[in-house]
């Protein structure tokens, strides 16, 4: 009986812990949509520092757009990178854009291709528009690359996938 209570208690504790970030994320999203960037930033920063990929992505977005803080592409890249390495497809897509355009990083077609390639493979079937955007961007950058660069970018993407 004690084991059953402990298991039920742990399940409840875990569900409560998981619901707090979700509720806070909803609060951050609501504040962001209302243009209350200061509130959104506070919540998002806290969650991003906890390692939550969606918050890291959102913080990168806020830095990239200059919403709630000065626009800073280098910091946007930093936060996108954190979320992208966790497999967050939207961060991978945006990181590819940053490498393609040279925003916050030196332009790098190999890195851009790799992140677009990964994003296209990670968006779900229901995220058809984003998957298509990632594939389109991958093909666009490929048109500016040598075949050796494309092979290198594909190898890097495979290596990234196999390390997960």
Residue 48: both structure tokens together: 């991003």
Please tell me the predicted confidence (pLDDT) of residue 21. 59
**What is the mean pLDDT of each successive set of 10 residues along the chain, which is 164 residues long?**
37 38 77 90 94 96 95 98 97 98 98 98 94 97 98 96 87
Please tell me the predicted confidence (pLDDT) of residue 22. 64
Q: Which residues contact 17 (CB under 8 A, 6 or more apart)?
A: none
**Per-residue b/e over 72-111, b at no fewer than 16 CB within 10 Å?**
ebebbbbbbbbbbbbebbbbbbbbbbbbbeebbbeebbbb
Please tell me the predicted confidence (pLDDT) of residue 23. 72
47 and 73 fall within a common domain: yes
55 and 33 fall within a common domain: yes
Contact (Cβ atoms closer than 8 angstroms) between residue 58 and residue 28: yes
98 and 46 fall within a common domain: no
Q: Distances from the Cα of 30 to the Cαs of 34, 39, 52, 55, in angstroms?
A: 6, 10, 18, 14
148 and 94 fall within a common domain: yes
Last residue of a domain, one of 22, 52, 82: 82
23 and 64 fall within a common domain: yes
Please tell me the predicted confidence (pLDDT) of residue 28. 86
Contact (Cβ atoms closer than 8 angstroms) between residue 90 and residue 130: yes
Last residue of a domain, one of 50, 82, 114: 82
Residue range(s) defining the domain that contains residue 75: 1-82
Please tell me the predicted confidence (pLDDT) of residue 10. 35
Q: Could you give the number of structural domains in the chain?
A: 2
Last residue of a domain, one of 82, 108, 139: 82
């Amino acid at each position: 009986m004690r084991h059953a209570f402990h298991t039920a208690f742990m399940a409840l504790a875990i569900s409560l812990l998981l619901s707090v970030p979700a509720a806070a994320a909803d609060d951050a999203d609501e504040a962001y949509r209302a243009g209350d960037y200061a509130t959104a930033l506070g919540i998002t920063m806290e969650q991003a520092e906890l390692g939550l990929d969606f918050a890291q992505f959102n913080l990168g977005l806020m830095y990239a757009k200059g919403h709630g803080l000065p626009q800073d592409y280098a910091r946007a890249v930093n936060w996108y990178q954190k979320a992208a390495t966790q497999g967050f497809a939207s961060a991978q897509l945006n990181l590819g854009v940053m490498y393609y355009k040279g925003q916050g990083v030196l332009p790098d077609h190999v890195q851009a291709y790799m992140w677009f390639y990964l994003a296209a493979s990670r968006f779900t079937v229901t995220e058809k528009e984003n998957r298509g955007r990632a594939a389109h961007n991958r093909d666009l950058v490929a048109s500016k690359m040598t075949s050796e660069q494309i092979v290198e970018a594909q190898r890097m993407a495979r290596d990234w996938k196999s390390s997960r």
